[in-house]
Structure 1
Amino acid sequence: MAYETIELSVNDRYAVLTLKRPEALNAMNEVMLNELADCFERLQGEKGIQVLVIKGDGRAFSSGGDIKMMLQKDKIEDFHEIMDIISRMATAYYQLPMITVAQVHGAAAGLGFSLAIASDIVIAEQNSKLAMNFIGIGLIPDGGGHFFMQERVGVPKAKQIIWEGKIMNGEEAQQLGLVDVVVKEGESEQYVQGFVKKLLSAPILAMLETKQIYHSERVEELKKVLSKELVAQTKMRQTKDHLEGIKAFVEKRSPQFIGQ
């Protein structure tokens, strides 16, 4: 199927999905979110594909949710529709019957970072800018960000990282357990190609069974977290701090939060 904001290419037993909004640093607008959800759901039935690489076109992996979309979806019903699409995307990605590899360069922030760390393997360039930075605009992580952070670093550290919203490079994120492999700037493509080759020459059916056992046990928990993120994010979008965060972002200044 032809997509507008993503591109899927299949090469025998592996596929590459490229986010293709380079002019917006691959920010996820409504079209991209719908296309990602649709693509991941379609891939559920692709038993011949054993590895999926996801990467970004241009200068970044993904800068996160599109701010313009967030400003336009000011009605609660419209916002809930977007969150439902995000939940579809995250749930389908987590249940893919293939090994998922995030090939990260440039920015992977907010929802883009949630998608990256949802992958089985995260490979990032040294100078990547990685951030679970929802806090900067008075919001909480979505796209299952709470769930995937907990899976990788545990609850205490996940809370601290979410609350700080710090921008990390590849090595800093690796030290925390959020990134699995760090490569030099400009070398992620070559490394990932070699990594995929090794995966496909391994007993990958056994590897996929291990993934299925772990993920099937936890998918209901992911769905519960996504539901709670919807409720909490709806609440946060109505706060003065969120409005100030968005205004400060647009005006390119530091926000002045008041805890309301």
Structure 2
Amino acid sequence: MSTIKFTIENGIAHIVLNRPDVFNSFNKAMAHEVQEALDQCQSNSEVRCVVLSGEGKAFCAGQDLKEVTDPNGPPLTSIVRDHYNPIIEKIRNLNKPVVAAVNGVAAGAGANIALACDIVIAKESASFIQAFSKIGLIPDSGGTFFLPRLIGLQRASALMMLGDKVSAADGEKMGMIYKAVADTDFENTIKETSEKLAGMPTVGLAYTKKALNKSMHNDLSAQLTLEEQLQTKAGRTHDYKEGVDAFLNKRKPLFKGE
């Protein structure tokens, strides 16, 4: 892969956007390589957690505008439909937790890809910006779906229309991200979080993620029925039996993700 770094170690897959000279902005090649990496994470039973981050100073500056303005480049329709939409769907449908490790600015599609992840942890020096309005476009990559649900319609509307930059600390306060941490603590926090997730009962986490996805659309009755179905499935897993036995015998559980 030429535009990302992709490694798997100790059950944790690291997908690192690797175009630091253009602040990890997306082009066609990077979009397809991220999709391929997510597919590998889905199919590889050794992967228990995924960390998405950026190389260098930025997380992701969104779309590479040089590609958009290239007469031979893909049209906007294709960029949204074939590049970004599959990434968002793969993140949300991945049966493993995805952590966005936001190491710097996350702008446009870069911000919304981060917000589609299960847990967002950012450096205090990082920032988020819905940059679309500055060039006459609308937020894509699931932004109009996730952001209002995270912070409410009023704030989402203002951020999308005004294009204000949001610091990581403010993002945490408004519920846009899970946590902003000191830059010096960032790497260790990501390591501890991903290792904790990888050691947890990941089938149960996958069912939790599925329930959260469905809650975006279901009414209460449908959601209660889904919880009953998924809880029944979770109760048949090895990790449920291991967790109960460990609790009763006052020992540390050893989960297998099965």
**TM-score in terms of structure 1 length:** 0.77
* Among candidates 54, 66, 69, match of residue 68 of structure 1: 66
- Write the letter of the residue equivalent to 2:75: D
- Write the letter of the residue equivalent to 1:46: N
* Among candidates 92, 95, 98, match of residue 97 of structure 1: 95
Partner residue, 1:81: 78
- Write the letter of the residue equivalent to 2:108: G
The SS at the match of 2:166 is: coil
Can you list the C-alpha shifts for 1:219-248, whole angstroms capped at 9, x where unaligned? 99xxxxxxxxxxxxxxxxxxxxxxxxxxxx
1:110 aligns with 2:133: no
Partner residue, 2:160: 162
The SS at the match of 1:168 is: strand
Which whole-Å CA distance do the structure 2 matches of 1:34 and 1:219 have between them?
28
Which whole-Å CA distance do the structure 2 matches of 1:198 and 1:39 have between them?
22
Percent of aligned positions that are identical: 27
Query: Structure 1 residues 139 and 74, CA, compared in 2 at 3 Å: closer, same or farther?
Result: farther
* Among candidates 43, 48, 51, match of residue 50 of structure 1: 48
Partner residue, 1:242: none
1:210 aligns with 2:208: yes
Long gaps (5+) in structure 1: 221-260
Q: In the alignment, is the contact (CA less than 8 A) between 1:73 and 1:79 conserved in 2?
A: no
Give the drift of 1:41: 3.0
Which whole-Å CA distance do the structure 2 matches of 1:129 and 1:195 have between them?
21
Q: How does 1:28-39 map to 2 (within 5 A)?
A: 28-39=26-37
RCO higher in structure (CA 8 A, sep ≥6) = 1
Q: How does 1:118-129 map to 2 (within 5 A)?
A: 118-129=116-127
Partner residue, 1:132: 130
| Structure whose alpha-carbon radius of gyration is higher | 2
Dislocated runs of 4+, deviation >4 Å: 216-220
Q: In the alignment, is the contact (CA less than 8 A) between 2:105 and 2:126 conserved in 1?
A: yes
Can you list the C-alpha shifts for 1:138-157, whole angstroms capped at 9, x where unaligned? 11111111112133223333
**TM-score in terms of structure 2 length:** 0.77
* Among candidates 162, 182, 185, match of residue 183 of structure 2: 185
Give the drift of 1:190: 1.3
RMSD: 2.1
Greater mean alpha carbon deviation, residues 146-155 or residues 112-121: 146-155
Partner residue, 1:196: 194
Can you list the C-alpha shifts for 1:79-118, whole angstroms capped at 9, x where unaligned? 3222222211211121111101011122111010011111
Which whole-Å CA distance do the structure 1 matches of 2:137 and 2:144 have between them?
12
Which whole-Å CA distance do the structure 1 matches of 2:200 and 2:66 have between them?
44
Number of equivalences: 217
Query: Structure 1 residues 9 and 219, CA, compared in 2 at 3 Å: closer, same or farther?
Result: farther
Partner residue, 1:15: 13
Long gaps (5+) in structure 2: 219-258
Query: Structure 1 residues 87 and 48, CA, compared in 2 at 3 Å: closer, same or farther?
Result: same
* Among candidates 113, 133, 142, match of residue 144 of structure 1: 142
Which whole-Å CA distance do the structure 1 matches of 2:189 and 2:35 have between them?
27
